[in-house]
Amino acid sequence: MKYLPPASMSVFQSQVWEVVRQIPYGKVATYGQIARIVNPPPGIDAPTYLAFGARWVGTAMAACPADVPWHRVINAKGQISLRENAGLQRRLLEAEGVVFNKNQKVDMKRFGWLAHQQNTLFTIETHNTQESE
């Protein structure tokens, strides 16, 4: 896995947390969706960002401040990733009205946060273009 230099990771984390703060009550987003909204760190090319962005979002979420609704970010399968506080995450989401099916998945059509959906790869291309000017 390729890691970011500490200065770049700090900026990236702040951007991730700002996006996650916008996820409404009762909605969820995936690590990959958040990565597609946030611009890649300076010096990171698009293929590398596409390969590692979702994991970097996960790293940012593991270190988020208390005011970030971390529980609203789930994996691409629509499930809670296995970790120590998975039970708490599920309880928090259920308290917000998010429903899990028999396969422990969230219906992303019903509970998915679709803000910034149009900003998939465009932010990556725009960021890299501006950087080279």
pTM higher than 0.85, yes or no?
A: no
What pLDDT score does 116 carry?
46
Q: How many CA atoms lie within 13 A of 73 on its CB side?
A: 25
Cβ-contact 30, 72 below 8 angstroms:
no
d(CA 23, CA 27): 6
For 93, residues 6+ apart whose C-beta sits below 8 A from its C-beta are 28, 71, 72, 80, 100, 106
Residue 36 included in any domain? yes
Task: Look at residue 1 and tell me if it is in a domain.
Answer: no
CATH code where residue 26 lies: 1.10.10.10
Q: Look at residue 82 and tell me if it is in a domain.
A: yes
* Mean predicted lDDT score pLDDT of the chain: 85
In a domain, 133, yes or no: no
Total tally of structural domains belonging to the chain: 1
pLDDT digits (tens, 9 = 90+) for 66-123: 999 999 999 999 999 988 889 999 999 999 999 999 999 999 999 999 744 544 443 4
Stronger pLDDT, 6 or 112, i.e. the higher one: 112
Q: Which domain holds residue 94?
A: 6-128
- In a domain, residue 20? The reply is yes
Q: What are the start-end ranges of the E strands in 1-133?
A: 29-30, 73-74
